[in-house]
A = this chain, B = another copy of it.
Amino acid sequence: MAKIRLRPIKATTKPRDDRDDYFYDQPGSLPGTLSIEADATPPVILLFDYNQTALTCQELATPEECFPYLDTDSVSWVDVQGLGSENILQRLGQVFKLHPLVLEDIVNVPQRPKVEEYEDQLVIIARMVIPKESGVGFYSEQVSFVLGEHYLLTVQEEPEHDCFEQVRMRIRHNKGVLRKQKADYLAYTLIDAIIDGFFPVLEAYGEYIEDLEEEVITNPTRQTLQKIYRVRRELLTLRRAIWPQRDAINSLIRDGNELITDHVHIYLRDCYDHAVQVLDMVETYRELTSGLMDVYLSAVSNRMNEIMKLLTVISSIFIPLTFIAGVYGMNFNTEKSPWNMPELNWYWGYPLCLAGMAAIAFGLIYFFWRRGWFENFSTIQDEETEANIHKSAIATPRSKRRRS
């Protein structure tokens, strides 16, 4: 497997908005108040109006230009990108006759994904994730859907990224059945694209976790810990994005709505299955990272054990020897008494002393060797080598598979 390029971990902390998030009004302020950020991008309004045979596709200058398209039989997809102008958004609300709370939910991002029914509209708040260009991580953005009988209004936070390009292509090139269907099918198609957009993000995490597994086992450092923690935090964010989304889709299926035809129900069921799969994967990855944390802690303890072993081996061998050397460094007066350190005057005194020291040293080394204290040093080396071989061995089929 080609080593996945990791962006330096700092950039991974980017999706901050999703952490301390959820938009909130000033407590007690008017419901329906729109809060526009000063630096928000002014909205771009794209219109796709199509039926099986005809297609209009243009950028609109004002929301009011939608009017002629809304009540025709053809499907009108009005895609608003960017939340930068209160004036335009308010006018948009009037064109589509949006309830003030709906407009608030659309504009005051982030909101929790949900489905809400209004008289002749179905409002869906969804959260879209777009993988970072390099490495793991993702940008996330709210997409709001307002589904009417003949139109679909979608509002995105920013015009930069989305995962609808494929859908636009299918409309333009009239691929598949999309142009033959109603607005509800278009809504399904877009929601499906959003859900499917979680998979590449998760796959990157999956590979990253595998790399972490290897790192934890072969070479755990302080950065490893931070990486694990950050993956956990980002998975938490992902879970918070997909969980309510799954519930929203489920309530769409279960509660029914006249704007959603039976025909589309079957597709939504498929979409729901995918959302459940995403959640499954997120949960699995979370369990894996929490297991990794345990492994990390154990690895640190093991490393400590080895440090201590080294210290103990060296101390245990040399401290007694130093003591012996100390004894024969004492200055007892050998002349005053035959009992005072007669060894010093022996012919073989020094060699015997050294031999004794060597015997003690080798005895201790043998003792430690028997208890297996020296094993780790060699085995670790082997293990790593083996692991690498194995890694590359099974990597081939998989990367081939995914990229095919």
Whether B328 pairs with A319 at a CB distance below 8 angstroms is no
Cα(A273)–Cα(B354), bound, Å: 75
Which of the residues B28, B31, B192, B333 comes within 8 Å of A345, measured between beta carbons?
A: B333
Q: Which residues of B contact A217 (CB under 8 A)?
A: 222, 226
Which of the residues B25, B192, B193, B269 comes within 8 Å of A116, measured between beta carbons?
A: B269
Whether A280 pairs with B331 at a CB distance below 8 angstroms is no
A53 to chain B, nearest CB (A): 20
Which of the residues B176, B266, B280 comes within 8 Å of A30, measured between beta carbons?
A: B176
A14 to chain B, nearest CB (A): 7
Whether A340 pairs with B329 at a CB distance below 8 angstroms is no
Count identical subunits in the complex.
5
> A359 interface residue, CB < 8 Å from B?
no
Interface digits, A1-12 against B, CB 8 Å rule (1 contact, 0 not)? Answer: 000000010110
Residue from A203, A210, A318, A383 with most neighbouring chain B CB atoms (10 Å): A318
Interface digits, A94-124 against B, CB 8 Å rule (1 contact, 0 not)? Answer: 0000010100110000011010100000000
Q: Which residues of B contact A400 (CB under 8 A)?
A: 38-39
> A304 interface residue, CB < 8 Å from B?
yes
Residues of A within 8 A of B (CB-CB), count: 152
Quick one: closest B residue to A216, CB to CB?
B229
A372 to chain B, nearest CB (A): 8
> A206 interface residue, CB < 8 Å from B?
yes
27 contacts between A and B (CB under 8 A): A10-B390, A11-B390, A20-B202, A20-B210, A22-B281, A24-B196, A28-B196, A31-B176, A31-B189, A38-B400, A112-B277, A222-B299, A226-B295, A233-B291, A298-B300, A304-B305, A308-B312, A311-B311, A311-B312, A314-B319, A318-B320, A321-B326, A325-B327, A326-B326, A331-B331, A331-B341, A332-B343
